[in-house]
Amino acid sequence: MSSLTFTHEMFRKYYAEDFPLNTSVPFIEKREFGFALFENQMVRHKSFRSIEEVKFFLQSFVPCDVYFSCAYYENPTAEMERKNWLGADLIFDIDADHIPTPCERIHDRWVCGNCGFVGRGVMPERCPLCSGEKLSAETWPCEVCLEAAKIEAIKLLDVLQDDFGFSKSELRVFFSGHRGYHVHVECEAVKALDSMARKEIVDYVSGLGLETSLPHVKERSFKKRFPLETVKSFSFGWSRRLTDGLQTFLSSVKEDDLRKLGFRKDAVNVIMQRKDGILRDLYNSGMVHTVRGVGLKTWEKLVKHIATLQSVKIDTVVTTDVHRLIRMPETLNSKTGFKKADVQISAIDDFDPFRDAIAFRKGMVKVRVLDVPKFRIGDETFGPYRDRKVELPTAAALLLVCKGRAEVVENV
Which listed residue (112, 278, 341, 343) binds Zn ion by CB under 5 A? 112
**For Zn ion, which is the closer residue by CB, 299 or 375?**
375
Identify which of residues 27 and 117 has a Cβ nearer to Zn ion in the complex. 117
Separation between Cα atoms, residue 124 and residue 118, nearest integer Å: 11
With CB under 5 A as the contact rule, the residue among 25, 36, 99, 103 that binds Zn ion is 103
Single out the segment in contact with Zn ion by CB under 5 A; choices: 45-53, 94-102, 306-314, 323-331: 94-102
Report whether 333 contacts 358 (CB < 8 A): no
What is the DSSP track for 379-410? TEEE--EEEEEEEEEHHHHHHHHHTTSEEE-S
> Judged by CB, which is closer to Zn ion: 141, or 286?
141
Q: Which part of the chain contacts Zn ion (CB under 5 A), choosing from 85-93, 120-128, 214-222, 400-408?
A: 120-128
**Residue 228 or residue 372: which is nearer to Zn ion going by CB?**
372
377 binds Zn ion (CB under 5 A): no
Indicate the residue among 116 and 295 with the shorter CB distance to Zn ion: 116
| Residue 85 or 117 having the CB closest to Zn ion | 117
Report the nearest approach of Zn ion to the CB of residue 103 (Å): 3
* Listed ranges 102-110, 238-246, 262-270, 285-293: which one lies at the site for Zn ion (CB under 5 A): 102-110
3-class SS of residue 81: helix
Cα separations in angstroms, 95 against 141, 148, 179, 180, 339: 10, 9, 6, 4, 16
The C-alpha atoms of residue 157 and residue 205 are separated, in whole angstroms, by 10
Residues 133 to 152 in contact with Zn ion, rule: CB under 5 A = 142, 144-145
By CB under 5 A, the count of residues binding Zn ion is 13
| 127 is a contact residue toward Zn ion (CB under 5 A) | yes
The pairs formed by 36-45 with CB atoms below 8 angstroms and a separation of 24 or more are 36/63, 36/64, 36/65, 36/67, 36/334, 37/61, 37/63, 37/64, 38/4, 38/7, 38/8, 38/62, 38/63, 38/64, 44/325, 45/76, 45/77, 45/78, 45/79
**Residue closer to Zn ion, measured from CB, 144 or 272:** 144
Could you report how far apart the first and last alpha carbons of the chain are, in Å? 13
CB of 117 to Zn ion, least distance (A): 4
Give backbone dihedrals phi and psi of 38, rounded to 5 degrees, phi first.
-65, -25
- Piece in contact with Zn ion (CB under 5 A), picked from 52-60, 113-121, 305-313, 367-375: 113-121
Residues within the interface to Zn ion (CB under 5 A): 101, 103, 112, 114-115, 117, 127, 129-130, 132, 142, 144-145
